[in-house]
Chain A
Amino acid sequence: SQQGEEDPQALSIQEGENATMNCSYKTSINNLQWYRQNSGRGLVHLILIRSNEREKHSGRLRVTLDTSKKSSSLLITASRAADTASYFCATGAETSGSRLTFGEGTQLTVNP
């Protein structure tokens, strides 16, 4: 079963613009992670935020977490064509942080 719901399902932007993707979930979590998947490839871990954190940065990525609203957002700044991929949020179960439940993903297209 899918815990996370991602919004939007698809996003198309121009190179240089920022991209924001949102994730909502239903149950209490230990951590929330974002992964990227290029077409026909495996998933690549991008960033992890723990349930007691509110914001985290990694390079051009910024993740926020609001546990009261059970939601998270991923911001990619100054997007590049190479950022074109599907982006998935995954929640780690409260009792077992390594047990991940993935959302259905956002397909991001960055046009050159």
Chain B
Amino acid sequence: EAGVVQSPRYKIIEKKQPVAFWCNPISGHNTLYWYRQNLGQGPELLIRYENEEAVDDSQLPKDRFSAERLKGVDSTLKIQPAELGDSAVYLCASSLDRRVYEQYFGPGTRLTVT
């Protein structure tokens, strides 16, 4: 069974530029999560989807971050414009549905903003 796929694995951009991350969850997993992980810290939830609906986006900085999961499968997280403080690892995770609490994580995208 394929795991959670994320691309790109690494991204270096200059501040004020836009950037997008892509995630394909495990087949059949209805719930999808985006996390941000700063160096030396645990992941922090940005947004959670149940199918194509964003059910928890309270931690998403909506002035510059946006996300979509149009067909309830893969998802894109965008930052525009990027700031120096956005440098972090962006992790995508999925779970079977909201009643199954174990999450499966992708390898992450390491973003460096210069």
A interface with B by C-beta (< 8 Å):
1-2, 4, 30-31, 33, 35, 41-45, 48, 88, 90, 92, 96-105
Contacts and interface: CB of A to CB of B under 8 A. Distances in A.
B98 A42 contact: no
Residue among A4, A31, A48, A98 with the most chain B CB within 10 A? A98
A43 B105 contact: yes
B18 interface: no
Interface string B24-59: 000000010000000011111100100000001000
Given A2-B41, A105-B42, A48 B102 contact: yes
A102 B105 contact: no
Interface of B: 4, 31, 40-45, 48, 56, 91, 93, 95, 98-108
A99 B105 contact: no
Contact of B105 (A44, A96, A103): A44
23 contacts: A2-B42, A31-B101, A33-B102, A35-B105, A41-B108, A42-B93, A42-B105, A42-B106, A43-B105, A45-B104, A48-B101, A48-B102, A90-B42, A97-B101, A98-B48, A98-B98, A98-B100, A98-B101, A99-B56, A100-B103, A104-B41, A104-B42, A105-B41
A33 B102 CA distance: 8
A107 B73 CA distance: 34
A43 B94 CA distance: 12
Identify whether the interface residues of B are mostly helix, strand, loop, or mixed: loop
Nearest to B110: A40
Nearest to B6: A42
Chain B CB within 10 A, most for which of A4, A42, A104: A42
A102 to B, nearest CB: 3
A88 B42 contact: yes
Contacts of A2: 41-42, 44
**Which residue among A1, A2, A99, A105 has the maximum number of chain B CB atoms within 10 Å of its CB?**
A99
Contacts of A105: 40-42
A43 B108 CA distance: 9
Nearest to A3: B42
A2 B84 CA distance: 22
